[in-house]
Amino acid sequence: QKEVEQNSGPLSVPEGAIASLNCTYSDRGSQSFFWYRQYSGKSPELIMSIYSNGDKEDGRFTAQLNKASQYVSLLIRDSQPSDSATYLCAVNIVGTGGFKTIFGAGTRLFVKA
Amino acid sequence: GAVVSQHPSWVICKSGTSVKIECRSLDFQATTMFWYRQFPKQSLMLMATSNEGSKATYEQGVEKDKFLINHASLTLSTLTVTSAHPEDSSFYICSARPFSAKTFHEQYFGPGTRLTVT
């Protein structure tokens, strides 16, 4: 079982719609969860971090975390063509050498104008 | 603030040669730097964790003798790909954790280095 799983997509939504991205993780001890956006040929850009169960909103973005279900999601409201990118779910795992970040394979999102 | 640079941004080398990639934290001191590799249409895979002044911790399956990491100062870590082969062609990305991080998990990514081995 992969440590962080995402639907690879592509997910296609019309401009102005809500895009819903999902992620599951395997390590029950994980405490920190992140969503990154990555444009083609560029490095990841942090969008949201979430540490507690429930919802966290930041502008058009809402992250949702359910630790019991080992599930984290990202909602993008009023989707724009500029939101078209690959969205990476990431989970921090603490080991003997400190924490390390494990990334999912990413979901490609296309927002159609 | 919190800017991380990488040099070079892209490099083409011949098979069998070595390539050095630099990762610098420009406006903060980084106690820990991470090196990732990303193949086309795949996710970032952590290669190693680098702590200033100590040996890097490599992930399972990453050859430490092939991917040499040096974290000689609080603002610079280098990754040297030795005896590069075409299968090493990838996008290499570093990230840095500030010494003064407000949260335990704060890290900042560099822009990446595209390596092509011919």
List CB contacts (< 8 A) between B57 and chain A.
Answer: 97
Residues A43, B111: C-beta atoms closer than 8 Å: yes
pLDDT value at residue A4:
94
The pLDDT tens digits for B15-40 are: 999 999 999 999 888 888 999 999 98
Going from the C-alpha of A84 to that of each of A6, A19, A35, A80, the distances in angstroms are 17, 10, 14, 8
Numbered residues of chain B with Cβ closer than 8 Å to any chain A Cβ: 32, 34, 42-46, 49, 51, 57, 91, 93, 95, 104-105, 107, 109-112, 114
Q: pLDDT exceeding 70 applies to what percent of chain B?
A: 94
What is the pairing mode between strands A85-95 and A107-112?
antiparallel
Residues A92, B105: C-beta atoms closer than 8 Å: yes
The pLDDT tens digits for A29-76 are: 888 999 999 999 999 998 999 999 999 999 999 999 999 999 999 999
Cβ–Cβ under 8 Å, residues B78 and B33 = no
Q: Tell me the two tokens of residue B117.
A: 């081995």
What is the pairing mode between strands B67-73 and A71-76?
unpaired
Cβ–Cβ under 8 Å, residues B44 and B93 = yes
Picking from A34, A97, A105, the nearest residue to B43 by CB comes out as A105
Residues B43, A49: C-beta atoms closer than 8 Å: no
Task: Collect the ranges in chain B with pLDDT lower than 50.
Answer: none
Quick one: closest CA in A to B104, which residue?
A99
pLDDT value at residue B1:
65
How far apart are the CA of B111 and the nearest CA of chain A, in angstroms?
A: 5
